[in-house]
């Protein structure tokens, strides 16, 4: 059995200057690129997700003119716009599979996405005999949390590299990591700096 790397939403709209900027987002992008440069060959597959919302709808109530920042949000990561593209500090050359999520619906987890060929993350991981995943990306308290939770639900061993995630808020990020550990996840460090 092998291990995979899950890279969650390292996109312009979630890094500095983006519509939903997370402090430290660019640093995560730089760190993930360093991790890939040092350890890409250690992974059976590398899956990167992107929010990829429809431009002409509220995406199932996900977008709002008066967002609560819990269930509704300002417009972000609209398909085909610069905000939906990967952060320029993140080099996706070693990524083996790209999934898009939130196409017309609210979606937080990488496991809700599909490749352009229609493959889900769960199908990709199964095809590569993966039983464990390392998780990095944005944001700790939302999409990293949801992706890690779903990986645990798939029966995978989950390790979150805490040096390669950044959250919207310190308190909610800490709570998210505590919940994941309580569910069986492990916290670790990528070892790249």
**Residue-level pLDDT at 1:** 83
H helix or E strand, kind and range, residue 125: helix 121-127
Cα separations in angstroms, 93 against 37, 122, 149, 175: 10, 22, 27, 33
**Residue-level pLDDT at 100:** 97
**Residue-level pLDDT at 57:** 84
> What whole-number distance in Å separates Cα of residue 143 and Cα of residue 49?
10
**Strand residues in the chain grouped as ranges (E):** 2-8, 45-51, 97-101, 130-138, 157-166, 186-188
The DSSP 8-state label assigned to residue 120 in this structure reads: B
**Residue-level pLDDT at 96:** 98
In a domain? residue 136: yes
What CATH number is associated with residue 145? 3.40.50.850
> What whole-number distance in Å separates Cα of residue 97 and Cα of residue 113?
11
**Residue-level pLDDT at 70:** 80
In a domain? residue 193: no
**Residue-level pLDDT at 6:** 98
Order of all β-strands in the sheet with 97-101:
97-101, 45-51, 2-8, 130-138, 157-166, 186-188
Domain span including residue 183: 2-188
DSSP lists the bridge partners of residue 54 as: none
pLDDT tens-place string over residues 171-186: 999 999 999 999 999 9
> What whole-number distance in Å separates Cα of residue 124 and Cα of residue 122?
5
Half-sphere exposure of 134 (CA within 13 A, CB side): 24
pLDDT tens-place string over residues 20-62: 999 999 999 999 999 999 999 999 999 999 999 888 888 888 8
**Residue-level pLDDT at 74:** 85
Place of tokens 């990488």: 110
Average pLDDT, the chain: 95
Q: Decide: 124 and 75 in contact? Cβ < 8 Å.
A: no
**Residue-level pLDDT at 170:** 94
In a domain? residue 7: yes
pLDDT tens-place string over residues 56-95: 888 888 888 888 888 888 888 999 999 999 999 999 999 9
Q: Which residues contact 41 (CB under 8 A, 6 or more apart)?
A: none
Cα separations in angstroms, 186 against 158, 171, 179: 6, 19, 11
Overall number of domains in the chain = 1
**Residue-level pLDDT at 28:** 98
pLDDT tens-place string over residues 5-24: 999 999 999 999 999 999 99
In a domain? residue 54: yes
Place of tokens 């979606």: 107
In a domain? residue 99: yes
Comparing 68-77, 107-116, 157-166, the range with the smallest average pLDDT is: 68-77
In a domain? residue 13: yes
Active site positions, annotated: 9, 101, 143
In a domain? residue 162: yes
In a domain? residue 125: yes
Counting residues of the chain whose pLDDT is more than 70, the rounded percentage is: 99
Counting residues of the chain whose pLDDT is more than 90, the rounded percentage is: 82
Of 62, 55, 96, 99, nearest to 78 (Cα)? 55
> What whole-number distance in Å separates Cα of residue 51 and Cα of residue 101?
5
């Amino acid at each position: 059995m092998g291990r995979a790397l899950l890279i969650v939403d390292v996109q312009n709209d979630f890094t500095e200057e983006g519509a939903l900027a997370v402090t430290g987002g660019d640093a995560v992008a730089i760190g993930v690129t360093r991790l890939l440069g040092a350890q890409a060959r250690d992974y059976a597959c590398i899956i990167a997700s992107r929010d990829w919302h429809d431009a002409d709808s509220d995406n199932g109530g996900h977008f709002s003119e008066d967002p609560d920042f819990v269930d509704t949000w300002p417009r972000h990561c609209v398909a085909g716009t610069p905000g939906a593209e990967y952060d320029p500090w993140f080099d996706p050359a070693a990524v083996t599979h790209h999934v898009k999520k939130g196409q017309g619906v609210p979606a937080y987890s990488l496991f809700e996405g599909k490749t352009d060929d229609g493959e889900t993350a769960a199908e990709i991981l199964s095809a590569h005999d993966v039983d464990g995943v390392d998780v990095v990306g944005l944001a700790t308290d939302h999409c990293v949390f949801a992706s890690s939770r779903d990986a645990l639900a798939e029966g995978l061993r989950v390790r979150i590299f805490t040096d390669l995630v950044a959250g919207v808020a310190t308190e909610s990020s800490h709570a998210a990591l505590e919940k994941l550990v309580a569910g069986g996840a492990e916290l670790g460090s990528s070892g790249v700096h």
